[in-house]
Amino acid sequence: MHLKDSSYPYARQTSASRSNARSSFLERARRNVAAQVLFPHPLSWWRTRRPENFKEVDIYIARHLLTKSAIIGEPHWHLGAAGNGPIAINVAWRANKRCGASLVSVDVAMTAVLCIALEGNVEAKLFLAAILQQRSDVDHTCGALSDSWLDFTPPWA
């Protein structure tokens, strides 16, 4: 029995049906449709999510991600990522101050500060609010986020 003659659902496609499938795929791919990202990457949470939208499990998710990252030129980074507030704030301050620093290194450093702020550290909340306020010139949503950190008290702390 030949494949063409069978009722087997995965029989070979003819060149015409392949051509139709390909053109249909290309039409869908060329359409300009808006994409909505519902779950931003944990490294961008500090500049995209309001503090009241966090849950305690988010701290563990972010910390797990931080254990797999490093910031070049910061030998004590692992202490800040583990929860040492002063080290995390100093590393984030240097990352924000550095000219030409990539947004990834700033995101990594600020995620450590975010975790500490979510644990209730007042200095980390103030630093996070200050950096968000500085960023509000570039990203207008950061201004509103900055204000929300000033009076936030985590319910689990």
| Neighbouring residues of 83: CB distance < 8 A, sequence distance ≥ 6 | 63, 115, 116, 119
Give the per-residue pLDDT at 103: 85
Give the per-residue pLDDT at 113: 98
Average pLDDT over the chain reads 85
Closest CA to 39 of 24, 58, 12, 20: 58
CA distance from start to end of the chain: 71
pLDDT score of 52 more than 60:
yes
pLDDT (tens digit per residue) in 3-21: 555 555 555 556 666 666 6
pLDDT (tens digit per residue) in 68-112: 999 989 999 999 999 999 999 999 999 999 877 678 999 999 999
> What secondary structure, in 3-state letters, does the chain show?
CCCCCCCCCCCCCCHHHHHHHHHHHHHHHHCCCCCCCCCCCHHHHHHHCCHHHCCHHHHHHHHHHHHCCCCCCCCCHHHHHHCCHHHHHHHHHHHHHCCCCCHHHHHHHHHHHHHHHHCCCHHHHHHHHHHHHHHCCCCCHHHHHHHHHHCCCCCCC
pLDDT score of 117 more than 90:
yes
Give the per-residue pLDDT at 15: 61
**Side chain identity at residue 28, one-letter code:** R
**pLDDT band at 67; cut points 50, 70, 90:** very high
pLDDT (tens digit per residue) in 21-47: 667 766 766 676 665 556 689 999 999
Give the per-residue pLDDT at 14: 62
Give the per-residue pLDDT at 132: 96
- Could you tell me the pTM of the whole model? 0.74
